[in-house]
Every structure is written in structure tokens, then in C-alpha cells.
Amino acid sequence: MSGSLSGKRGLVLGVANKRSIAWSIASRLAEADAEMAFTYQGGRIEKGVRDLAESVNSPLVTSCDVRDDADIARAFDEVGEAFDGKLDFLVHSVAFAAAEDLEGRFTDTPRDRFWLALDVSAYSLVACAHAAEPLMRDAGGSIVTMTYLGGERAVPRYNVMGVAKAALDASVRYLAWDLGENDIRVNAISAGPVRTLAARSIPGFGAMEEIVAQRAPLRRQIDGGDVAGAAAYLLSDEARNVTATTLYVDAGFHSMGM
């Protein structure tokens, strides 16, 4: 993989710590000689993100609130300045739902927190793709986001996050159509359960891992490195004719009926 992304410049959203899927992806891209900028949200994780970014010689680490269009515009302006007005790829690994909405019944989700989950987990991709387009228009580019099977099937207690992932999946297809005329590709990776700090907040996550290991055709769990390999492919020129696609990295679990 070394050198396969040499000369490529990208932005990674969603690194929170060294166990983040976004960091697994960034590490793999760094091995392939990509240059990356990073965003963070909130001072609590800033130092950790800066330390990780420094380890891969990142030229830019900046804050970005994906619910604020002005802040998104500012962050992408900074990315443009750091990368001479050009962006080759965007990794979108951003999602959020209130903890109380991942327990109990989906039916009880209040309106304000329903829109919060969709805004952060789905619309943020649309907003970031809109901001990235001018930086990718001349030479093309690739956008990858993270989804989950809970957007296609009901996963107990995944609740409103599943609905948000369904909106994200549809957004990938519509963005791929809009941006394709400028040679910008948009794809999603649907990963099986990966042990991250965020995943541990999902009730029943351990059971999800066990079920995948028992029922997936390959009968094993996956890790961040598996997702990173898939992302590196989708972001590379090897996938130049792959767009509007969901790539499943779940040991085949998505294919099973029960």
C-alpha cells in the first residue's frame, strides 16, 4: 500500500482518539503517503487530536462544528489555504445521537433529538461535500463516509441512529449523482461492530459482536484495520469508477437472513 496515495491531500473528520475508526483510516492513509488535515469538535479532545495529527506530519488541525454552516465554511477555507486550493479526498466519520435515545423504544424519540441525530450524522455529510466541491472540482476527488446495517434493518436499541444512517445512505447516492459530473466520487463503508469508545456507549454492543462472529459467513469479528483498508481502496485511483456504493466490511454478516 505504501505510496499508493502519494501526492494526495485530504481532510479527515471524526478522529476523537487513537481507537477511532477515523484514526485507523488516517493511519493507513499516512502509510500510503497521503497528506491530511484534521478537524476536532470541543476542547476536551483537541490535544489528543493534535498529538495524533502531529504523528503523521499533518499541516493543519482545526476545530469544526458540523452543525454550523459558517464554521464549516471557515474550516474548509483553512484546508484550501493549507493545500493550495486543492483537496483530493474527504473522510467523513461523524455521527451522534443522545445516549437516552439508544435505550428503550424508538417510538419515544423526541422531535428535537431526532433532528439532532439526523443533523450531525447525515446532513453533515451534505454540508461538508458542498464545502469540499470547489476544492475538488478541477481534478476530481473522493468522499467516504461511515454507515451501518442499522440503516437498512431494524437493530434493537440502535433506534434513531439507524434512521440517521438510512438518511446518510440516501445522501451518498444523491451526492454521487450531483458531484459525478466533476469526477467526484461518493461512497460509504458499512462496517460491522468495531470496538471504539463511541461503540461502547451503544447498549448491547457486546451482544452485537458475538452475533456477528457466530453468524457471519467468515465467522469472525472485524477491526479498525479492516475498515481502513477498504477506505484506502475507495480513496485511491484504483476505485476511480466506484461511486454511489456501500462497501460492506462485516465478514459477510449483511448477507445473512438470520
User: What's the pLDDT tens digit per position in 74-112?
Assistant: 999 999 999 999 999 999 999 999 999 999 999 999 999
Whether the pLDDT of residue 254 is over 70: the answer is yes
The answer, yes or no, to whether residue 217 has pLDDT greater than 80, is: yes
Please, what's the largest Cα pairwise distance for the chain? Answer: 51
What percentage of residues in the chain have a pLDDT greater than 90?
A: 86
Closest-CA residue to 209 (of 153, 163, 251, 157): 251
Listed by start position, the domains of the chain span 9-249
For the segment 117-156, what is each residue's pLDDT rounded down to a tens digit?
Answer: 999 999 999 999 999 999 999 999 999 999 999 999 999 8
User: Is the per-residue pLDDT at 10 higher than 70?
Assistant: yes
pLDDT given at position 4: 85
Q: What pLDDT, on a 0 to 100 scale, did the predictor assign at position 245?
A: 98
User: Which 3 state secondary structure label does DSSP give 40?
Assistant: strand
User: How far apart, in whole angstroms, are the C-alpha atoms of residue 125 and residue 142?
Assistant: 13
Q: Tell me the C-alpha distance between 106 and 160, whole Å.
A: 6
Domain 9-249 belongs to what architecture?
3-Layer(aba) Sandwich (3.40)
The three cell numbers of residue 245 are 456504493
Percent of the chain exceeding pLDDT 70 equals 95
- Three-state DSSP at 175 gives helix
Q: Write down the mean pLDDT value for the chain.
A: 94
Average pLDDT over residues 39-56: 96
Q: Residue 194 pLDDT > 90, yes or no? A: no
Residue 196 is predicted with a pLDDT of: 64
Q: How sure is the predictor about 211, in pLDDT bands with cuts at 50, 70 and 90?
A: confident
Give the pTM: 0.95
User: Based on the number of CB atoms within 10 Å of its own CB, is 138 exposed (0-12), middle (13-18) or buried (19 or more)?
Assistant: exposed
The rounded radius of gyration (Å) of the Cα atoms in the chain is 17
The band of 166, judged by pLDDT with boundaries at 50, 70 and 90, is very high
| Residue 44 pLDDT class (50, 70, 90 cuts) | very high
Which residues participate in catalysis according to the annotation? Answer: 148, 158
pLDDT at 64: 98
